[in-house]
């Protein structure tokens, strides 16, 4: 079975849509939040717990897996699905974002990016061809184009040059991709906060008729209003019959607003990173479970949540574990946070079917 996207319901007040993305490892019902497993593990969470949290597609990171353990080992193990014992859809990013974040150690040419490995100092070159080769070896269902990600403070000229180069690199990625029946290559719309550059990038990408499209270069340090304005402009320009993925975004408000603009997929490290710092996401709020007021709070984190932490443990117990730096405390908060963000996108999905999205989620859309 290949890849296809069906739109099942459209919101009549916004661009929001509910759909199903079919992949060789199963379906992804959209809109949906995707947990991040950078090193082929969603930190602290076993695959069964991810399934219980209703995760359908998860992410892994090309750059990190290339450095450790290396894609050859993952391939020998039977690919990412088999290596990490996750038999549902997986998406790998291209490594571009990480490579371009290493501003001290890299050199960019038309060919690609050369950098010193922060692990062992060896010189590594990642080009569009190399990124696709690594992603072909890793074997995720969705792979991403290798693109140039300019920083949020780049000038318009710099962003325009990076966007043009990303398009030239995308064509090389398409050329290099060896496994089109089992892996869908998504293109990435760049262009920073400049709406004319975004429009041009979408026009170029549409010509390649790719199986899916992502909006990149948001959430790199700009104001939330600018993210929203960029997504609001860009998402409706993308083809309606292909999945749309907003990279690196996963707060309640940003997701709700992006869904209203027609985005289907999200990823963010927030739920696990917050979990490791003792922060829980509860009904749209952030709570610091270490706070003294939870020491004798014997109710669950969230009465309406069916995750293992909320079904079995009290806030007092979670507070105690996190204050004692017990592993289980961090794991339970991470599991709850993942469950909560997926549930939020599922509730939105349901509201799109019911035609109540614009009213039910009005507080997040304003
Ligand atoms: Zn929970």
- DSSP-assigned letters across all residues of 218-258: -SSS--HHHHHHHHHHHGGGS-TTS-EEETT---HHHHHHH
Distance 34 CA to ligand 1 centre (A): 17
CA of 309 to the centre of ligand 1 (A): 5
pTM recorded for the entire structure:
0.96
pLDDT at 104 over 80: no
What's the confidence (pLDDT) of residue 218?
A: 84
> What's the rounded mean pLDDT across residues 231-237?
98
Distance 39 CA to ligand 1 centre (A): 24
Residue 1 has pLDDT above 70, yes or no: no
Is residue 47 within a helix (H) or strand (E), and if so which, with residue range? helix 47-52
User: Environment class of residue 316 by beta-carbon count within 10 Å: exposed (0-12), middle (13-18) or buried (19+)?
Assistant: middle
Residues 33 and 95 sit within 8 Å (Cβ to Cβ): no
Region 88-93 average pLDDT: 97
CA distances, 266 to each of 91, 104, 110, 220, 345 (Å): 11, 29, 30, 15, 9
The pLDDT tens digits of the residues spanning 115-129 come to: 988 888 889 999 999
Is 66 annotated as ligand-binding?
no
pLDDT score at 86: 98
User: Rg for the chain (alpha carbons), in Å?
Assistant: 20
Please report, for the chain, how many H helices and E strands are present, in that order: 16, 16
Cβ of 232: how many Cβ atoms within 10 Å? 17
Average pLDDT over residues 27-56: 98
**What is the secondary structure of 158-208 as a DSSP string?**
HHHHHHHHHHHHHHHHHHH---TTT-EEEEEE--TT-HHHHHHHHHHHHHT
Distance separating alpha carbons of residues 209 and 128, to the nearest angstrom: 18
pLDDT digit string (tens) for 335-348?
A: 999 999 999 999 99
Residue 105 confidence (pLDDT) above 80: no
Residue 93 is assigned to a ligand binding site: yes
* The two three-digit tokens of residue 78, written as one number: 């039977």
Q: How many CB atoms lie within 10 A of CB 310?
A: 24
pLDDT of residue 366: 82
In angstroms, the CA 190 to CA 168 distance is: 12
**Domain locations in the chain?**
4-268, 275-333
From ligand 1's centre to the CA of 173, what distance in Å?
40
CATH no., domain 4-268: 3.20.20.105
Q: What is the pLDDT of residue 100?
A: 82
How high is the pLDDT of residue 220? 73
Confidence class of residue 267 from pLDDT cuts 50, 70 and 90? very high
pLDDT of residue 53: 98
Distance from residue 8's CA to the centre of ligand 1 (Å)? 29
CA of 281 to the centre of ligand 1 (A): 9
Q: Summarize the confidence of residues 279-297 as an average pLDDT.
A: 97
Would you name the residues annotated as active-site residues?
A: 93, 267
**Is 147 annotated to bind ligand?**
yes
* Closest to 89 (Cα-Cα) out of 19, 9, 2: 2
pLDDT at 225: 85
User: 143-183, pLDDT tens digit by residue?
Assistant: 999 999 888 789 999 999 999 999 999 999 999 999 999 99
Structure tokens belonging to residue 12: 């009549």
Q: Is 250 annotated as a binding residue?
A: no
190 is in an annotated binding site: yes
Q: Is 297 one of the annotated binding-site residues?
A: no
Which is more confident, 217 or 277?
Answer: 277
For residue 363, what pLDDT is reported? Answer: 96
């Amino acid at each position: 079975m290949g890849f296809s996207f069906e739109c099942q319901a459209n919101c009549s007040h916004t661009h929001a849509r509910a759909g199903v993305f079919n992949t060789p490892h199963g379906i992804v019902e959209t809109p949906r939040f995707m947990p991040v497993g950078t090193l082929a593990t969603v930190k602290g969470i076993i695959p069964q717990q991810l399934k219980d949290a209703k995760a359908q597609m998860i992410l892994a990171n090309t750059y990190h897996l290339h450095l450790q353990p290396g894609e050859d080992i993952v391939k020998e193990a039977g690919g990412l699905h088999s290596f990490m014992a996750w038999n549902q859809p997986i998406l790998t990013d291209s490594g571009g974002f990480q490579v371009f974040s290493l501003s001290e150690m890299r050199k960019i040419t038309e060919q690609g990016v050369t950098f010193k490995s922060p692990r062992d100092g060896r010189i590594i070159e990642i080009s569009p061809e190399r990124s696709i080769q690594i992603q072909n070896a890793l074997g995720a269902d969705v792979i991403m184009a290798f693109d140039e990600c300019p920083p949020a403070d780049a000038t318009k000229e710099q962003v325009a040059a990076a966007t043009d180069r990303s398009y030239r690199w995308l064509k090389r990625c398409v050329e290099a991709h060896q496994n089109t029946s089992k892996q869908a290559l998504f293109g990435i719309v760049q262009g920073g906060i400049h709406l004319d550059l975004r429009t041009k990038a979408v026009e170029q990408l549409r010509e390649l008729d790719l199986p899916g499209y992502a909006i990149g270069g948001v959430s790199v340090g700009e104001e939330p209003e600018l993210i929203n304005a960029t997504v609001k402009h860009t998402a409706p320009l993308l083809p309606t019959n292909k999945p749309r993925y907003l990279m690196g975004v996963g707060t309640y408000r940003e997701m709700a607003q992006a869904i209203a603009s027609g985005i289907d997929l999200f990823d963010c490290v927030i739920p696990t990173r917050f979990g490791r710092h003792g922060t829980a996401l509860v009904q749209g709020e952030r709570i610091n479970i270490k706070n003294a007021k939870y020491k004798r709070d014997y109710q669950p984190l969230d009465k309406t949540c069916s995750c293992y932490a909320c079904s079995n443990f009290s806030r007092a117990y979670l507070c105690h574990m996190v204050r004692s730096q017990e592993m289980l405390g961090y794991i339970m908060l991470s599991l709850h946070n993942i469950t909560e963000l997926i549930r939020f996108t599922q509730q939105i999905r349901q509201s799109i079917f019911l035609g109540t999205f614009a009213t039910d989620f009005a507080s997040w859309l304003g």
